Amino acid sequence: MENIIIDGENLNLEQFIDVVRNNKKIELSEESIKNMNKSRELVDRYVEEEKVVYGITTGFGKFSDVIVSKEDTKKLQKNLIISHSCGVGKGFDEEVVRGVMLLRINALSKGYSGIRLSTVNTLMEMLNKGVHPIIPEQGSLGASGDLAPLSHMVLVMFGEGYAMYKGERLDGKIAMDKAGIDTIELTSKEGLALINGTQVMTSVGALTIYDALNLSKLSDISASLTNEALNGIIDAYDEKVHKARGHIGQIDTGRNLLSLLDGSKMTTRQGEIRVQDAYSLRCIPQVHGASKDCFRYAKEKIEIEMNAATDNPLIFTEEEQVISGGNFHGQPMAITFDFLSIGIAELANISERRLERLVNPSLSSGLPAFLTEKGGLNSGFMIVQYSAASLVSENKVLAHPASVDSITSSANQEDHVSMGTIASRHARDILNNSRKVIAMEILTAAQAIDLRGNNGLGNGSEVAYNLVRSEISVLKEDRIMNEDIEKMEEIIKDESFIIEIEKKLESYYKEEKIWK
């Protein structure tokens, strides 16, 4: 397997996932090595000349006016990491940590940070060999970068802190020794170069947008099954309707639904049973489509940030300039993640409303109450809807924007912060809740189809139904529903679920990809 080449310019979401989840290895491009060496030469020269440059020969934050001698530059950098390791709470999942390491390497490889190549190589070796620092989730303001969590990453590089290695939680030094990686001593500018950036929030966000794009596909699939269970009207998905409005996500969703439902004997046309459906069925293209457009925007912004120089100060070798700026500020990502949170939450909101129509005998067009044939003795899917309602309500709390908040820090030197890391964590939590809701809808729709009488499903929805029923049987009497829900979530988390359906629909899309 070829390594992914890191150059600070061309990392995309698919490559990110390959490294983070599939353990693909990375290496630096020749150009990035050259750029890093040039910027390091400038840093060394400024230290030797004792030139006053923020973070190189000065303290940090409010201490930016305190000059530090060249003899103390190494101590300065180590003190920075130790003092800033103030993260609290549970540790991030290993895939998030891998993403943090990858993104920091990518940012440093641009050559604006003045770090030594050997230091970047150490971090790269840790990533390639699976030494994953334990990084607490809480403690970042998302401006001055993710200072606290990134400091926990750096601790392990010089043999402090803790790391996971081959499933074991170990002291940083022991983990490095077991992996055969030499610990390092930081020198001028390096501590700051390693922690001044948005890589923690961006790693969480990159994983979340990847999963959100898959959730969007799953939402169309779950909606198609519910449509059939309720004998829904497909006229509302006609392409003419959506082209008349012009939103790309809406057009794509209508097309997806028609292809999934093509050939179904359970859908209806307007006027056959009723003239029009409720919004949760009729407006699926408009609602799912709006989320698709949100995700398209978020992916674009996240991929920009994945390749961004977010250090301070930045070193411009051609001009021999070191400029203190604010690229560490997480506001572009904070707003993006708040928007992403809303886009994901709405998929769950409308899914829960469809689920309610399935279990409510006043709305389900003849299905038994709570989808059980012996109601009263059995409760059927009654509390499945409760659980879904609880999750979507929790999402509404989590979707409150983090980016509109700010609080001053560093004695008012850092007087506006983004809260972007909180925003990314909220988006991730909303994603996890929403996936559960979609799993509940699919499970409930399959039960409703069986009770309605499966007269023949659509070209794509049939594949989904069969995949569900290959693992989970029809509910005839009450059983522990938590087990069915968790099994259903496992099924849809596996990307093969979507892949099998896409294969079936290839002929409908020809050269184009489904789920744009």
Please identify which of the residues 46, 54, 237, 465 carries the catalytic annotation. Answer: 54
Distance CA 260, CA 181 (A): 51
- The strand pairing partners of 6, in sequence order, are 28
Question: Which residue type is seen at 271?
Answer: G
Q: Which of 114, 111, 121, 113 is nearest to 35 (CA)?
A: 111
- In degrees and rounded to multiples of 5, residue 80 shows phi and psi of -55, -50
Distance CA 177, CA 165 (A): 11
In order of 32, 85, 287, 393, 450, the CA distances from 381 in angstroms are 57, 47, 25, 19, 14
Question: Which residue type is seen at 315?
Answer: I
Q: What angle do CA 86, 89, 91 make, to 5 degrees?
A: 95
Catalytic residue status for 386: no
Residue 339 contacts by C-beta under 8 Å, 6 or more apart in sequence?
294, 297, 298
Question: Which residue type is seen at 159?
Answer: G
Distance CA 69, CA 103 (A): 31
Instruction: Provide the b/e sequence for 69-93 (b: ≥16 CB within 10 Å).
Output: eeeebeebbbbbbeebbebeeebbb
Helices marked H in 85-171: 94-108, 117-129, 147-157
Task: Give the chain's end-to-end CA distance (angstroms, integer).
Answer: 28
- The strand pairing partners of 67, in sequence order, are 58
Distance CA 420, CA 442 (A): 33
Q: Which of 76, 64, 34 is nearest to 313 (CA)?
A: 64
Distance CA 52, CA 54 (A): 7
Give the H or E element holding residue 4: strand 4-6
Q: Which amino acids are annotated catalytic?
A: 54
